[in-house]
Chain A
Amino acid sequence: MIQAEELVGGEWAEWYRLTPVQRWLESEKLWQTYLALGGSLDPEPDTQSPFFDARTPRPCPAHGWAGVRVLRRGRV
């Protein structure tokens, strides 16, 4: 019998073990963090979607920057 850890690794196995409601709540926490960090609710352009139109101008955040940006990047 294949175990979830063998197939998808520990992190995913742990996610699978949560109940649906626990997953929902965990995702909400992630949302709070994302918004607290200044993340925007504007979705990324989905170039593979049939609704995508490359010619449509996309809105920019009012301050002109992406919602979340890298301030310091460690070396590889």
Chain B
Amino acid sequence: MGGQACVFYGAAEFSRDTDFAILAEASNLARLRKALAGLRAKPIAVPPFEIKYLRQGHAIHFRCQHPEALRMRVDVMSKMRGVDSFAKLWERRTTLQIPGGEKCDLLSLPDLIQAKKTQRDKDWPMIRRLVEASFFENRRKPSPAQIRFWLAEFRTPQLLIEIARKNPVVAKKLVAKRPLLRLASAGEAGKLEKELAAEELTERENDRRYWLPLKKTLDKLRHGG
């Protein structure tokens, strides 16, 4: 769900770890343990590899010791802020076949974008790139769902204005959910840019708040406080 998915959808991240969204159920964790054993992956840092921490929203971190993946980090999560349940993510996933015939399941683009709305600087230019790539790939014949997705997620003022003006009815319907669309429809690029920045700040603050109790748990596990 991380860097590799971003590359597939059109951003470019040189991420050295591999992130997985997984179903936190006992039988699935047993399968995961087996796969991790194949990679000779050992848990690092906290929390320990236990179902309760995954269900709380923590990530479990591993480092691989297999010679073909030496020192590679693997992070697994099951619950992310603002992101739907695993069952829904699975239903909407993208499946690709890589050379050699193996299949990879990726978060859908809208789900990946939700997962990227974090407190970290590096995720926000990534979101912008992902939505731009989707737009330039599909702008000639967009589906209604794509138009709604762009209106909901664009971080590029020029494109938001273009799409809002071409689709005034849909844009108007979405104003209640995303008030800055009013500025996009009016072509107010300067104000729109400021509102996009404010929207980002709000999301980042929400993410910081979401993590406060989880960070307390991590601190307790690290330092026994």
Contacts and interface: CB of A to CB of B under 8 A. Distances in A.
Given A7-B132, A16-B132, A50 B45 contact: no
B159 A7 contact: yes
B8 A24 contact: yes
Contacts of A20: 8-10, 96
A41 B70 contact: yes
Interface string B62-86: 0110000111110000000000000
B211 interface: yes
A74 B39 CA distance: 41
A56 to B, nearest CB: 6
Contacts, number: 84
B17 A43 contact: yes
Given A16-B10, A53-B218, A7 B156 contact: yes
B87 interface: no
A64 interface: no
Contacts of A66: none
B61 interface: yes
Contacts of B7: 23-24, 27
Interface in B155-172: 156, 158-159, 162
B119 A48 contact: yes
A51 B45 contact: yes
Given A48-B120, A51-B59, A41 B12 contact: no
Interface string B11-54: 01011110000000000000000000000000001000000000
A34 B14 CA distance: 10
